[in-house]
Structures are given as structure tokens and as C-alpha cells.
Amino acid sequence: MTAKTEPGPPARAEGITGCPITPVVDIVFSRWTTPILWQLNSHGRQRFNELRDLVKGITAKVLTQRLRQLERDGLVMRTTHPEIPPRVEYEITDLGRSLAPVFASLVEWSHANLTDVHGARTEYDTSDRPRP
């Protein structure tokens, strides 16, 4: 008989990149995921059109796709109210909300470093170095 063990952390998800954060980046930092999560965290429960208005530039089709993926990943919850016409609302889950400190750290880094990044780009672009 085998001893029963507590479930541990999932197997390392480094994949072919050898980097343990790659799966997280793929989930959280795709083109529209971060703005959707940011808006739901900032503004709370939203109807589809309200959310589309908050996330500037996103199409209805892409918003639908991203919301489905976020729901699948457990970061967003979809609630359908039994009304006519049906009312559907989206809200960030506790799992999605757990990313707030990550986003806050990125905002802090942005405030502290983006000026330097822009300066480095300008210096690079005006130098004699070959451009990508």
C-alpha cells in the first residue's frame, strides 16, 4: 500500500523555453488579457458592452474570445441572469484578483523606468548601430 501524499505544486511548466514564467506570461499577458483584467479589477462587475467601452480598441469578437479564455482559466466569472433579454455580466474572480499585486508592481516599474527605456531607445535609434 502506498502512502497518501498531499498534492504538491504542479509539475514545472517550463516547457521548451526553460523559463518557469512563460506559461504565466502566455495566460496573463496576451494582447488583450491584461486590459480586460485591469478594468474588471478596477471597475467591478461589467456587462459586455460596458467592458468593451472600457477596453479601448478591442473588437466585440476579440473581447468574446478573450473572455471565454479567461473564464476557462478561472480568472473571470460569467453570470447570466434569467431575464428577457438575457443579461450577462463578467467579473474578476479571486484567482484573477490575485494578480493585482503583479500588475501594481508593473505599474511601479513603469513609473520608475519607462523614461529610461525611452531614452535608451532614442539613443539607440540615433546611433550608427544597425537597426533590427
Q: DSSP code of 46?
A: E
pLDDT at 4: 47
The span from the CA of 118 to the CA of 111, in Å, is 12
What is the residue-level pLDDT of the chain in tens, covering all 132 positions? 444 445 445 545 555 568 888 888 888 888 899 999 999 999 999 999 999 999 999 999 999 999 999 999 999 999 999 999 889 999 999 999 999 999 999 999 999 999 999 999 999 999 887 766
Q: Are 52 and 63 in contact (CB under 8 A)?
A: yes
- Pick left, alpha or beta for residue 18 (phi over 0 → left; psi -120 to 50 → alpha; otherwise beta): left
Q: What is the pLDDT of residue 5?
A: 47
Q: What one-character DSSP code corresponds to residue 33?
A: H
Q: Write out the three cell numbers for 97.
A: 484578483
Q: What is the pLDDT of residue 114?
A: 95
Q: What topology does CATH give the domain 15-125?
A: Arc Repressor Mutant, subunit A (1.10.10)
Structure pTM?
0.76
